[in-house]
Structures are given as C-alpha cells and as structure tokens.
Amino acid sequence: MILFDRVTKVYPNQQVALSGLNLHIQPKEFVTIVGSSGAGKSTLIKLMTREESHTSGKIIVGGLDYDTITPRDVPLVRRRIGVVFQDFKLLPNRRVGENVAFALEVSGARGREIKRAVPKMLQLVGLSSKEQAFPNELSGGERQRVAIARALIRQPKILIADEPTGNLDPKNAWEIIELLLKINRFGTTVLLTTHNKEIVNALKRRVITINRGRIIKDEEQGRYTLEGGK
C-alpha cells in the first residue's frame, strides 16, 4: 500500500513541487499518473523512492513510515520499488543478461541464484534469445524490456514506469504497456506516468491527474483530459 497524507515538498530554492497531496494506492492496482510538465510527477516518484525527502505530511509505503526510516533503510525501500525510465538507463558495455544480473549482484545475491533468476526474468519479458546481445544491438522496445527485467529481478512489490514509452513507436509502446499489464496481473502494483493520450484512454484504469503539485482528478477508468498529449 502507498499512502501520501497531506504531503508537501518544497525544494531548497523554495519551489513548491507538491502541495498537501493525498494519495492512496492499494496493492496490485494499476494506476496512471498524468500531468503537464512541472506538475510534480517526478517529485512524487522521487519521494516514493526516497531520492528526495518530503517537507511535511506523511508517507507510508509497504508499511514503512518515511518519517522514521534511516539512511540504512533506503536500500530496503529501493528493493520494494522497481523503476524504469524513458531512456532505459542500461549499461552499454554489458550484455543483456549481465544488465539484468547486475541488479541482483549489487544486492549481494549468490551466483547460483543469479544464474537461475536471470533466464526466468528474460523469459517473462520475451527476450530469452537476446541474453548475450549488447544494448546497442536491440530495438528501443527490446531495451525497455531489458530495463523492466532488471527492475523486476529483485521481485519488488511496486513497479514505477516513468514515461516508459516516451522513446518508442506506437507498436513498441503498446507491447510495453501489454507487458506492464501482464506484470500487474501477476500481482505487482504498477504506477505508470505517460503523456500518451491514446494509451491512457485505451487502458481504462485508474487515472490520477496532477496539476501544480495537487491531485485535481482521480478516477477509475479515467481519461486523459490535459491539453496537448500525444
């Protein structure tokens, strides 16, 4: 469960990025977050992953109260939340399998465990045949699949996909969305941010619209109602 109770974030330059934001997301939900540039989406994500800390209010994620966690708890937070980005952020000099394994290596997993887990994860994202490829030998859609496999290898309860289709053509974008839906069916909470109007409207899932650091709309089977959008 993700709970934000009157959360405000003021950056050191006095910029108010979130203002008394209330948010409640149940386990296994699939939620899309939309908002114009500067609305506060990235800040919301950075507070969840503890890349930034909030100024006031309460944040509880998976039973962890962010007011009481110490720097030593941050790796625990990160293990519960996988994140994928628009620009994939793969290691260019490592093969696909190594990119995925790396996330387990840094958490101290044993070699045997890694050898077992990586092929399973590549199979889930449909990339079994690409284990030995380098990222620059893959299409954008395939790179995003690698990033998703890497984010999931530690079995997080929550997957945040921050504009995952922003660099993809419509066909690849849809394949990534289908994959996120599959992952959600397997029981992972998925938080998606996107500017893609077609995707939001076709998903018919919960849509939260943020504007100037506040939630202005929160609807089951919501629609994309911002100006612009692709």
Region near ligand ADP per CB under 6 A, out of 13-21, 22-30, 142-150, 174-182: 13-21
Region near ligand ADP per CB under 6 A, out of 40-48, 58-66, 166-174, 215-223: 40-48
Region near ligand ADP per CB under 6 A, out of 10-18, 58-66, 96-104, 165-173: 10-18
| First-to-final CA distance of the chain | 31
Sign of the Cα torsion 214, 204, 139, 78 reads positive
Q: How far is the CB of 163 from ligand ADP (least distance, A)?
A: 9
Q: How far is the CB of 38 from ligand ADP (least distance, A)?
A: 4
Q: How far is the CB of 52 from ligand ADP (least distance, A)?
A: 7
**Cα(39)–Cα(213) distance, integer angstroms:** 6
Region near ligand ADP per CB under 6 A, out of 37-45, 68-76, 126-134, 217-225: 37-45
- At position 118, the amino acid (one-letter code) is V
With left for phi above 0 and alpha for psi between -120 and 50, is residue 224 left, alpha or beta?
A: beta
Check: CB of residue 78 under 8 Å from CB of residue 50. yes
> Residues in the chain, how many?
230
| Strand spans (E) along the chain | 2-10, 16-25, 30-34, 56-61, 64-65, 81-85, 158-162, 189-193, 206-211, 214-219
Check: CB of residue 160 under 8 Å from CB of residue 49. yes
Region near ligand ADP per CB under 6 A, out of 8-16, 90-98, 117-125, 138-146: 8-16
DSSP 37: T
Q: How far is the CB of 162 from ligand ADP (least distance, A)?
A: 8
**Among 5, 6, 26, 38, interactor with ligand ADP by CB under 6 A:** 38
**Among 35, 141, 156, 222, interactor with ligand ADP by CB under 6 A:** 35
Binding track over 88-117 against ligand ADP, x by CB under 6 A: ------------------------------
Going by C-alpha positions, the residue among 139, 106, 99 that lies closest to residue 122 is 99
Check binding of 186 to ligand ADP (CB under 6 A).
no
**Among 39, 101, 124, 183, interactor with ligand ADP by CB under 6 A:** 39
Q: Which residues bind ligand ADP (CB under 6 A)?
A: 11, 13, 15, 17, 35, 37-43
